[in-house]
């Protein structure tokens, strides 16, 4: 391997690692706030990428049908909750729920039906994709997780796996078995020290840095961001000072949905996405999050970059075993954390 091959693999690894880093940040965000390992993160990413690809090909994505179905279930849950708490006499809560969960999805369905046959600029297609996919994340939390938010992490994990399989099946129905790709967001090409550098790679790097900076400013400069940090540190203490854990969960899912939707739109020009391809991609982001301990954002991002570089160089040395090599990376990390963590037996806790 000469330096040009190493440089080319490094560029490819950093590009993939930047996408894995965003997925790792979304996983850490959701887990730290809600204790949920968001297994269906890859499906939401795929929905974002495939929706953009279908819009660019002039086809109506079936994403809005799923949005309509999720909205109807959320409205039904809100109506039942209002009836149980005696708030059914007031029309205001149901009116607000109808606007959020029924009218908005219907407007998005009509808007995408109008926009699909037209060749709109890529920026408008991306905006429509975000409006159609991002609201699914808090709806999924409202339907599947909010009613059992106080359950054990194992129960939440089982529900997350069930949501993953449900979304995978719906993805097959909505998008079919074939893969889809989109045009590059920036189709320029450059040369860096004799190495080819595509404009799409630069878009991925810049987008990742901007999103990480935006998250840093959000968590340190805004009241809602500080509230999420409070819930992540101590859920009971946050509730005692008036921070709603249900609202925090929906907000965390919304932010994670926005991040993974961007990941999908950045990934689909690089590689053809299929309805079931998001799980493996999200799993690599999960390995980066494991390296960061599922609590540290900088460590999770660094771990995801390491995963991307390891995958790129493994594809050169042993392409048929690159997935095995990448997934094996988690074993020494777990072993080191197990040896470095002080364990306490239940008998000691009872004493």
Q: Kindly report the three-state secondary structure assignment for every residue of 142-171.
A: HHHHHHHCCCCHHHHHHHHHHHHHHHHHHH
Question: Is 11 in contact with 195 (CB distance < 8 Å)?
Answer: yes
pLDDT at 288: 85
pLDDT at 344: 52
- Quote the DSSP letter at residue 103: I
Nearest alpha-carbon partner for 71 in 138, 127, 128: 138
CA 304 remoteness from chain centre = 14
pLDDT at 150: 83
Residue 110 belongs to a domain: no
Nearest alpha-carbon partner for 327 in 291, 287, 299, 289: 287
N- to C-terminal Cα distance for the chain?
Answer: 60
Q: How many domains does the chain have?
A: 1
Strand partners, 189: 198
pLDDT at 229: 86
Residue 263 belongs to a domain: yes
CATH of the domain at 169: 1.10.3470
In which domain, by residue range, is 315 found? Answer: 3-61+116-350
Residue 103 belongs to a domain: no
Residue 10 belongs to a domain: yes
pLDDT at 243: 79
Tokens 């991307």: give the residue: 308
Residue 167 belongs to a domain: yes
pLDDT at 295: 67
Residue 242 belongs to a domain: yes
Residue 13 belongs to a domain: yes
Residue 67 belongs to a domain: no
What global pTM score does this model have? 0.90
Give me the residues of the chain with pLDDT under 70, please: 1-2, 86-90, 293-295, 340-351
Residues 6+ apart with CB under 8 A from 56: 122, 125, 182, 183
pLDDT at 53: 94
- How far is residue 64's CA from residue 66's CA, in Å, rounded to a whole number? 5
pLDDT at 346: 41
pLDDT at 347: 42
């Amino acid at each position: 391997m000469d330096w040009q091959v190493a440089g080319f693999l490094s560029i490819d690894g950093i590009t993939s690692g930047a996408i894995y880093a965003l997925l790792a940040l979304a996983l850490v965000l959701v887990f730290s706030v809600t204790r949920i390992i968001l297994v269906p993160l890859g499906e939401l990413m795929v929905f974002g990428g495939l929706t953009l690809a279908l819009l660019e090909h002039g086809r109506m994505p079936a994403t809005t049908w799923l949005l309509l179905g999720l909205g109807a279930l959320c409205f039904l849950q809100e109506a039942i909750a209002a009836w149980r708490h005696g708030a059914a006499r007031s029309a205001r809560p149901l009116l607000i729920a109808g606007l959020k969960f029924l009218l908005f999805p219907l407007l998005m369905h009509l808007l995408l039906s109008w926009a699909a046959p037209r060749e709109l600029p890529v920026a408008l297609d991306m905006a429509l994709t975000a409006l159609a996919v991002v609201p699914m994340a808090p709806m999924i939390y409202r339907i599947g997780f909010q009613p059992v938010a106080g359950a054990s992490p194992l129960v939440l994990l089982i529900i997350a796996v069930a949501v993953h399989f449900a979304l995978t099946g719906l993805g097959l129905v909505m998008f079919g078995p074939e893969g889809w790709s989109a045009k590059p967001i920036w189709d320029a090409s450059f040369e860096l020290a004799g190495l080819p550098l595509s404009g799409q790679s630069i878009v991925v790097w810049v987008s990742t840095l901007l999103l990480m900076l935006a998250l840093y400013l959000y968590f340190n400069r805004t009241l809602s961001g500080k509230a999420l940090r409070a819930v992540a540190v101590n859920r009971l203490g946050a509730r005692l000072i008036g921070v709603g854990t249900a609202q925090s969960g929906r907000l965390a899912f919304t932010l994670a949905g926005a991040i993974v939707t961007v990941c999908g739109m950045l990934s689909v020009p690089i590689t053809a996405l299929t309805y079931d391809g998001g799980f493996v991609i999200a799993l690599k982001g999960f390995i980066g999050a494991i390296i960061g301990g599922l609590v540290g954002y900088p460590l999770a991002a660094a771990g995801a970059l390491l995963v991307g570089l390891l995958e790129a160089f493994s594809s050169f040395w042993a392409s048929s075993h690159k997935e095995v090599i990448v997934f094996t990376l988690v074993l020494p990390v777990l072993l080191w954390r197990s040896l470095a963590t002080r364990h306490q037996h239940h008998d000691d806790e009872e004493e």
